[in-house]
Amino acid sequence: MKPTIDLEKLIEYGIKAPSGHNTQPWHFIIEENAIEIHPDFSRALPVVDSDNHALYISLGCAVENIAIAATKYGLRSSITIKAGKDDESFIVVSFTADDSIQEDELLNYIEERQSTRNNYSDQQVPEDDLHELRNSFEFEGIELLILTSESEINDLEPLIIEGSNKQFQNKEFVEELVDWFRFSKAEAEKKGDGLWIKSMGLPNMNHFIGNIVMKYFVTAKSEAKRWKKLIDATAGFALFVTDKNDVAHWVRLGRTFQRFGLTATMLGISHAHVNMPCEELDVRKKLATTLNLGSKHPLLLIRFGYSENMPYSHRRGVDKVLVNKKVEANG
């Protein structure tokens, strides 16, 4: 029998998960042999994520980190979704000791994984690695399309640009985005969240200047130009598709994406979001039509390739997201 496990240690892995604009929209509650993960809607993104699907994808990423970390202690994880107050869905990760559990090889890459938003090289990803990415998960109702051919990328590019144009022509979108920008190292460290511009390849600046630059000098036209350059150097795109557009599938999609991202990290492959054509509903419909997806839902688009690592975004500590006291699990 393994020793009891401090469940806060598992939450430390959970908070390393990615989230939209690095909002970290989660609260954790520790129960006996279980961790509850609740949405923190005060950190929702009502403009870019009006139905909160991206928020629940983020929770799914945190769930998968916790389930992976639990294998280190010989714990099997069981994931359930429950309805809480006002029918707000939350997730319960329950743990049982299992001597047959082997440590997941992806555990070592949770700390290393990042959304790498810089320019990629034009190096292609070997087919063996693409095969490993395709087979990095097994979750019902989730499909992964790997798009690497010139024709596939040419079909995607105008949809990416259209989504970007719609967003940067929307004043409310820009204001929401800028609210989550952290323009200096001091601001990023103090807040512990948001998009530190250094991690996006931009220089540190004071908050006042940063706001002016983002709101008045970054335009739909300049973003379209930037994205054309990024797309040209992208080895491929990963499109995550769900059978249904509901909380259960959003959470499973998050778990899928996290395993994809950790596997990519293990293989030395960079990745970052290109989610504009999935976030704009009319463009999402065009994307589904272009790829003959029928009634399925393309909810997450990721570019991948090779690049240097960037500075890491900051995370809030467990003390900021845990809403009750420490309980230990029997391992």
Q: How do residues 204-236 score in pLDDT, each as one tens digit?
A: 888 888 888 877 778 899 999 999 999 999 999
pLDDT in tens, 161-216: 999 999 999 999 999 999 999 999 999 999 999 999 999 888 888 888 888 887 77
Task: Write the pLDDT tens digit of every residue in 262-293.
Answer: 999 999 999 999 999 999 999 999 999 999 99
Task: Quickly state the pLDDT bin for 87 (edges 50, 70, 90).
Answer: confident
- Residue range 30-67, pLDDT digits in tens: 999 999 999 999 999 999 999 999 999 999 999 999 99
pLDDT digits (tens, 9 = 90+) for 229-269: 999 999 999 999 999 999 999 999 999 999 999 999 999 99
pLDDT confidence of residue 205: 85
In the beta sheet, which residues pair with residue 269? Answer: none
Instruction: pLDDT band for 18, please (50, 70, 90 cuts).
Output: very high
Strand ranges, E, within 148-278:
181-182, 195-196, 236-242, 270-273
Sequence-ordered list of residues with C-beta below 8 angstroms from that of 61, at least 6 positions apart, any chain: 17, 18, 19, 254, 255, 257, 258, 261
The pTM score is 0.94
CB 222, CB 213: distance < 8 Å = no
pLDDT mean over 146-175: 96
Residue 288, classed as helix, strand or coil, is helix
What mean pLDDT value characterizes the chain? Answer: 94
Question: Which pLDDT score is estimated for 330?
Answer: 60
Q: CA–CA separation, 198 vs 238, rounded Å?
A: 25
Question: What is the mean pLDDT of the segment spanning 107-136?
Answer: 96
Which strand (E) or helix (H) includes residue 299? Answer: strand 297-305
pLDDT at 20 over 90: yes
Cβ contacts of 274 within 8 Å, gap of 6 or more? 160, 227, 230, 237, 301, 302, 303
DSSP code of residue 322:
B
What is the pLDDT at residue 69? 97
Give the DSSP H or E segment for 302. Answer: strand 297-305
Q: What pLDDT was estimated at residue 226?
A: 93
**pLDDT at position 3 over 60:** no
- Look up the CATH superfamily of 5-113+314-329: NADH Oxidase (3.40.109.10)
Domain limits of the chain? 5-113+314-329
Is pLDDT at 126 greater than 80 in this prediction? yes
CA distance 68 to 91: 16
pLDDT tens, 91-107? Answer: 999 999 999 999 999 99
Cα 273 to Cα 115, 168, 212, 287, 300, distances in angstroms: 7, 16, 25, 16, 8
Please provide residue 320's backbone torsions phi and psi, each rounded to the nearest 5 degrees: -85, -15
With bands split at pLDDT 50, 70 and 90, how would you rate the model's confidence at 1?
A: very low
Taking the C-alpha atoms of residue 182 and residue 82, their distance in angstroms, rounded to an integer, is 34
Residues 6+ apart with CB under 8 A from 55: 19, 20, 23, 25, 39, 41, 43, 44, 45, 49
- Distances, alpha carbon 83 to alpha carbons 27, 140, 192, in Å: 15, 21, 29
CA distances from 157 to 44, 209, 272, 301 (A): 28, 32, 16, 12
